[in-house]
Copies of this chain bind each other. A is one copy, B any other.
Amino acid sequence: MLSRGFRAVSAVKSAGVWAVAHSLDDTARFCRRGRCSPADPAPGPGSDPDQDPVQTLHRLCLDRFYVAPGPGSAARFRRGLGCSYGPLGEELRRNLLARWWSSVTRSRNRVFGVSSSLSGPAGPEVQVRVVESGRLQQILDQQDLSREQLIREVRALLDRSGPARTSLLPGALQQFVPSLELVGRKLPFGLAETGLCFRPPDASGCSAEFTETSLVWFCSPRTSSQWLDHWTQQRLKWWRKFALSPSGFISSEVSEDELEEPASRGVRISYDFPWGRESLETLWSRGSAELLQTHNGVQSKLQCRDGRKTVPHVISVSGNMDRGATAFLSNSLQQLSKEDGKKRLQHRKVLKLHPVLAPVKVALDIGRGGTVELRQVCDGLLQEFLEAEIFAWPGYLETLPTSAEQLNAKYDEMGVLFSAVVGENTLESGLLQLRSRDTTIKETMHISELKNFLARYISAADNI
């Protein structure tokens, strides 16, 4: 069995090579809490006090295909907003959303997926709309309109512009009644959804879309508080399961003066970023008022069986998965250092994403004297991995010569779990060299075993 614990131990075992391991987050957290006194554990020799950990992380994400370059990219990244993801970032996001989905819908057989329209239910409180701005420009350009005519036309345009949802909750509340038949009107049950939501654009001009995950749980009023505890525990376990340093993910009860109407209790799951603590997921015990309001107060439509007839209470569990992806990136970035022969410090950055989340499971390269045959072997392996849905990196397509050290450094920054080198030897014996990101140890493996080894490794890490 391959546990995170085991992997950590392996990393320590290989400390003969890389002296001190610490994550960027840890360093930053020490400093931010004002505990950077001499008595505190000193940051490792590899740390550069001048280096901004946010910049380091964002730079690495740009260089290593996680985030696409673009104006405002760094700010969006930091604020937990949807940004343009490169191929690796997109795969990380997909892995994360798939895990959330299966964790929520498969954990109990009473959660169903729904999908509500982006233009959620309209209401007086709608703050964001999708507006035909070309038409609005035209109205503003019309010289012959009086002030009053202008206002009238803009209002009319606004009225027919669809609202843009800021949360998935209203959609789920609407789907409550049609979903009752699914469950024979029996409590508890839940509706799950993932989708884009908007925050009102701020002064920086960032349109503020983000990917929300939402579980809306309908339960008996008697048990709502226990259910809130249950889901808090489940969700915190989930975040920590995929973390390298689980203690960075914490849950905290929302204090009474921070409670948002109509919630009677709330819990936040947050992550300690280098730039401060930010909320990843929020759980609210909301009572039944919003549900009643959504369905015009018709109690009879909403009643469920639960010993006696009752209108359910609502627990909402809403997460921001763009910020979640950033949290895992931040959490899994380790900086390691060693002195080389000439006593110069060398730095190595490793993105130790959990095997399940890591976008690239294996990179394929060819050894010296790469021939057409070796390329064909790699093509065959790549195809095999594609069919098994194992994301492999076609390093052998690269034509610029790179040293093994440079290549390993690059793959470590990409968070590539394993890298395989196919050489002349492989053609004869079928053996290839496999290097582990987490232990840096190289093993020899038969080419026919590679796919099963990877599948077993990932599923073992998943089943802990």
Contact = CB atoms under 8 A, between A and B. Distances in A.
15 contacts: A68-B174, A84-B174, A87-B191, A91-B113, A94-B113, A106-B389, A119-B209, A128-B130, A128-B134, A129-B133, A131-B201, A133-B161, A162-B201, A162-B208, A184-B399
Interface of A: 65, 68-70, 76, 82-87, 89-91, 93-94, 102, 105-106, 109, 112-119, 121, 126-137, 140, 146-147, 150-151, 154-155, 158-164, 171, 174-175, 178-179, 181-186, 191, 193, 196, 198, 200-201, 203-209, 305, 379, 382-383, 386-387, 389, 394, 397-400
Ranked 5 nearest A-B pairs via Cβ: A162-B207, A119-B207, A160-B205, A127-B134, A129-B133
Chain A contact surface mostly:
mixed
A379 B175 CA distance: 24
Q: How many copies does the complex hold?
A: 2
B387 A106 contact: yes
Contacts of A114: 68, 84-87, 90
A128 B157 CA distance: 12
A87 B180 CA distance: 11
Q: Which of A68, A82, A185 has the most CB of B within 10 A?
A: A68
Nearest to A210: B118
A128 B131 contact: yes
B65 A134 contact: no
A158 B133 CA distance: 7
Contact of A154 (B136, B147, B203, B379): B136
A175 B205 contact: no
Contact of A147 (B87, B150, B386): B150
Given A140-B155, A160-B201, A205-B162, A68 B178 contact: yes
Nearest to A208: B162
A117 B209 contact: yes
A87 B113 contact: yes
Contacts of A134: 126-128, 200
B398 A184 contact: yes
